[in-house]
């Protein structure tokens, strides 16, 4: 089954199923584009992307590609913050692709470019950064696509990947797929080990690869535990960190930052 078609069908089916209402909200896939954008910008998911951009010294009006950005929530958030943004998304869907992104762009009154072709068509455009959220694990074959992403970056430019699911062993994939609510609709869910992500990035020409725990203490406190007394919240956070390090759940996400190694 074509995965773009499968994903669109999964979103529509999930929107119609009260049992999956929480999944739709948590995934920012509800029909109301502006409501989804507002909630995304207040979420820890956007906070971690903004944090990673800041760590890389990327300030507005840096030129940023939103790679595989679907309905454009990341693009819209970047544009709102003053970045020069190009959304690279080949899926034309009005539900979860560029059709939805165009609708969001108009409704929010934002200015970002939408590129509907392959990322290779954006090579040598000297982006300061490429940002993607939960994208790499869906890309096959990964290395050639990452080479095109690397070619689109200026020398020393940053690839910032957020919410990438990880596994420790390939045998964990079966459990991951059992747990994912969209697999029942034909969506092929996948994840890679950290070593597989590293190897693919190196082969594609990236250097200084860092794969990290996604949630900072500040964001955990501010967003996830705002009403919990500070000592209790800190204890819960470090228990969360320890459990995630020693026994991560299949599909547990990590952030990935890599630097373009191409010569100037």
Structure tokens at 199: 């190897």
Provide, rounded to the nearest whole percent, the portion of the chain with pLDDT above 70. Answer: 97
Least confident of 83-92, 121-130, 137-146: 121-130
Q: Is the dihedral of CA 114, 159, 139, 264 positive or negative?
A: positive
Q: Is the dihedral of CA 90, 99, 133, 179 positive or negative?
A: negative
Q: Is the pLDDT of residue 39 over 70?
A: yes
On the 0-12 / 13-18 / 19+ scale of CB atoms within 10 A, 157 is buried
pLDDT digits over 198-257, tens only?
Answer: 999 999 999 999 998 877 777 777 777 888 988 888 888 888 777 777 667 768 889 999
pLDDT mean over 111-120:
94
- The answer to whether the predicted template modeling score (pTM) of the entire model surpasses 0.75 is yes
Q: Which string of DSSP letters, residue by residue, matches 114-145?
A: EE-S-GGGGTTS-EEEEEEES-GGG-SSHHHH
Which one-letter DSSP state was computed for residue 205?
Answer: T
CA dist., res. 66 & res. 78, Å (int): 9
pLDDT band at residue 262 using 50, 70 and 90 as cut-offs: low
């Amino acid at each position: 089954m074509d995965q773009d078609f499968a994903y669109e069908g999964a979103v529509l089916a999930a929107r119609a199923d009260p049992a999956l209402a929480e999944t739709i909200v948590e995934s920012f896939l509800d029909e109301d584009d502006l409501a989804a954008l507002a909630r995304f910008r207040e979420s820890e998911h956007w906070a971690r992307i903004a944090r990673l951009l800041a760590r890389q010294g990327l300030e507005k009006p840096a030129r940023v590609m939103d790679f595989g950005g679907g309905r454009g929530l990341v693009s819209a958030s970047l544009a709102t913050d003053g970045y020069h943004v190009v959304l690279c998304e080949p899926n034309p869907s009005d539900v979860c692709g560029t059709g939805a992104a165009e609708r969001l762009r108009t409704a929010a009154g934002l200015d970002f470019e939408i590129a509907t072709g392959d990322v290779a068509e954006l090579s040598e455009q000297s982006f300061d950064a490429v940002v993607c959220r939960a994208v790499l694990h869906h890309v096959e074959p990964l290395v050639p696509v990452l080479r095109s992403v690397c070619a689109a970056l200026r020398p020393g430019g940053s690839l910032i990947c957020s919410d990438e699911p990880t596994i420790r062993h390939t045998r964990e994939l079966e459990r991951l797929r059992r747990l994912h609510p969209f697999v029942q609709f034909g969506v092929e869910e996948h994840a890679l080990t950290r070593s597989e992500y590293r190897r693919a990035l190196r082969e594609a020409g990236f250097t200084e690869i860092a794969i990290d725990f996604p949630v900072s203490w500040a964001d955990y406190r501010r967003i996830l535990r705002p009403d919990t007394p500070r000592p209790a919240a800190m204890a819960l956070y470090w228990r969360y960190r320890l459990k995630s390090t020693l026994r991560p759940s299949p599909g547990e996400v990590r952030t990935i930052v890599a630097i373009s190694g191409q010569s100037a």
